A and B are shown apart, each in its own frame.
Chain A
Amino acid sequence: MEKVTRLASQNGVVIFTKSSCCLCYAVKILFQELGVNPTVHELDKDTVEGREMEKAIARLGCSAPIPVVYIGGKLVGSTNEVMSLHLSGSLIPLLKPYSATLS
């Protein structure tokens, strides 16, 4: 969990994914479309602590185990939460500090 917190507190958009997860890929594309380049951590590529991180993230209780999104060190949630935020117009304000095109 410590590694998760450490990685998550990085500035900007942090997404925990798996290389085989296409929904994770879709979320990454959305952020890129909004002018943000997210930091992507593929849990299946971390051979040492990947499984532990996966378990820790599952305990966070998001709508899905992956992808899990942090913005500016704060937990946003999974795909559902990101989509709801975006359609309600609340996502872009969160991204403004981190995007060249939005601010």
Chain B
Amino acid sequence: MNSPTSHFVPPRRMGVYDPIHQISMWEENFRNNVDLSASTLLIDDAEIKFDNQSEYASHGIPGTSKQYDQEANRLADKIQRRLAQNREAARKSRLRKKAYVQQLESCRVKLMQLEQEVDHAKQKGLHIGGTGLGSNSLDFAASVNSGITSFEMEYGHWLEERNRLTMALRNALNSHVSDIELGELVDGAMSHYFKLFGMKSAAAKADAFYVMSGMWKSSAERFFFWIGGFRPSEILKILVPRIETMTEQQRSDISNLGKSCQQAEDALSQGMDKLQQMVSESVAAGQLEEQTDTPHMSTAMERLAALVSFVNQADHLRQETLLQMSRILTKRQAARWLLALGEYFQSLQALSSFWANRPPKPA
């Protein structure tokens, strides 16, 4: 673009309209604004008019200079309007840019939060992503996830309540409350365990493998796992000694209960072995890469569906064990036994933490 200095009016003309100041202002604005070409043209016109006007003004001819006054005024107005429009356009453009940048920023923050949530969920062992079986695998995995995700959340709340109930039992036994109050606590604790079995049943429908894996439990509890939970005969064996005074009848009943439990567990374990054998046979017989509607694959799937029944049956056994104990024992004895049970699981969880945080062995 042209250098503006050639357009500058020499100082001795300043007395008439202060054109130098006007022009320098315009040029300042033109540097900041967009629409330069037309304005430059206007300046050229203005320059010509001022140049012409000076000859007449110094000779003192009033009529001609007045005409040029009016034209200069109109021109000045036009220029002012154009400048104002440009300023307005520029202001709006700056506002739009600001809004866009703010939107980008908030999206960035949201993305970071989502990434954190995904990482957190992955750490907790949720299986994110498909089973690799086909185009529907991701949809299936998404619906399975929600069943398991809600189970994990519910289990967290269940644990808190279990710990609260255990503490309540301890306090009640130490402060010698009435048998009726103890009875209420015992019933509450039993219902709480039964609630877990219901939750597990729903989770098993969503993903029986998940419940069988015990990923929702601490590592030490998983060590003792049997078909999706604790082994009923074990908790009888180790915790009954914690109940101090029992009648001979009670001891005999508990001994029979333990024996029946063991026999039922053995039968279910053998049923599980048979299930494993049948699934591996149907898998080996077929070709897994084919679609799900091949005979071998659908047989394997049918047989795997039995896994849900096994998890439910094992939980039923746990429930029956708890029920039988509450029938054999008095309320006070049952409270002591349930306290021992809660403390046992808490200790296993503590053991898992200690083990996970143990100092590394020197190389």
> What is the interface of chain A, defined by CB distance below 8 A to chain B?
20-23, 25-27, 29-30, 33-34, 64, 79-80, 83-84, 86-89, 91
- Report the separation of the CA atoms of residues A70 and B217 in the bound assembly, to the nearest whole angstrom: 39
Beyond contacts A22-B303, A23-B313, A25-B271: 4 other A-B pairs, Cβ-Cβ < 8 A, are A22-B306, A86-B263, A87-B320, A88-B320
State how many angstroms separate the Cβ of A87 from the closest Cβ of chain B: 5
B303 touches A83 (CB 8 A): no
Q: With A30-B267, A33-B267 in contact, is A87–B275 under 8 Å at CB?
A: no
Q: List 13 A-B contacts (CB under 8 A).
A: A20-B303, A21-B306, A22-B275, A23-B271, A23-B310, A26-B268, A26-B271, A26-B313, A29-B270, A33-B263, A33-B267, A80-B313, A87-B261
> What is the interface of chain B, defined by CB distance below 8 A to chain A?
253, 256-257, 260-261, 263-264, 266-268, 270-272, 274-275, 278, 302-303, 306, 309-310, 313, 316-317, 320-321, 324
- Residues on B with C-beta less than 8 A from A34 are 263
Candidates B266, B267, B268, B321; contact of A87 at CB < 8 Å? B321
User: Which of A79, A80, A88, A89 is packed against the most chain B CB atoms within 10 Å?
Assistant: A79
9 tightest A-B CB contacts, nearest first: A26-B271, A30-B267, A22-B275, A29-B267, A87-B320, A26-B267, A22-B271, A22-B274, A29-B270
A87 touches B313 (CB 8 A): no
Candidates B267, B275, B302, B320; contact of A27 at CB < 8 Å? B267
Q: With A87-B257, A88-B324 in contact, is A22–B263 under 8 Å at CB?
A: no
- Report the separation of the CA atoms of residues A34 and B253 in the bound assembly, to the nearest whole angstrom: 18
- Report the separation of the CA atoms of residues A20 and B299 in the bound assembly, to the nearest whole angstrom: 10
- Report the separation of the CA atoms of residues A84 and B322 in the bound assembly, to the nearest whole angstrom: 12
The DSSP consensus for interface residues of chain A is: helix
- Residues on A with C-beta less than 8 A from B313 are 23, 26, 79-80, 83
- Residues on B with C-beta less than 8 A from A21 are 306
- Report the separation of the CA atoms of residues A25 and B277 in the bound assembly, to the nearest whole angstrom: 13
A83 touches B274 (CB 8 A): no
- Residues on B with C-beta less than 8 A from A26 are 267-268, 270-272, 274, 313
Closest partner residue, chain B, to A21 (CB atom): B306
- Report the separation of the CA atoms of residues A79 and B310 in the bound assembly, to the nearest whole angstrom: 10
- Report the separation of the CA atoms of residues A88 and B327 in the bound assembly, to the nearest whole angstrom: 10
- Report the separation of the CA atoms of residues A79 and B261 in the bound assembly, to the nearest whole angstrom: 14
- Report the separation of the CA atoms of residues A25 and B306 in the bound assembly, to the nearest whole angstrom: 12
- Report the separation of the CA atoms of residues A34 and B345 in the bound assembly, to the nearest whole angstrom: 32
B264 touches A30 (CB 8 A): yes
Closest partner residue, chain B, to A33 (CB atom): B263
State how many angstroms separate the Cβ of A63 from the closest Cβ of chain B: 9
State how many angstroms separate the Cβ of B133 from the closest Cβ of chain A: 22
A83 touches B264 (CB 8 A): yes
B306 touches A30 (CB 8 A): no
Q: With A20-B278, A26-B271, A33-B263 in contact, is A83–B317 under 8 Å at CB?
A: yes
- Report the separation of the CA atoms of residues A51 and B27 in the bound assembly, to the nearest whole angstrom: 98
Closest partner residue, chain B, to A84 (CB atom): B320
User: Which of A22, A27, A34, A83 is packed against the most chain B CB atoms within 10 Å?
Assistant: A22
State how many angstroms separate the Cβ of B208 from the closest Cβ of chain A: 13
State how many angstroms separate the Cβ of B309 from the closest Cβ of chain A: 5
- Residues on A with C-beta less than 8 A from B278 are 20, 22
Closest partner residue, chain B, to A88 (CB atom): B324
A30 touches B263 (CB 8 A): yes
- Residues on B with C-beta less than 8 A from A84 are 320
- Report the separation of the CA atoms of residues A86 and B313 in the bound assembly, to the nearest whole angstrom: 14
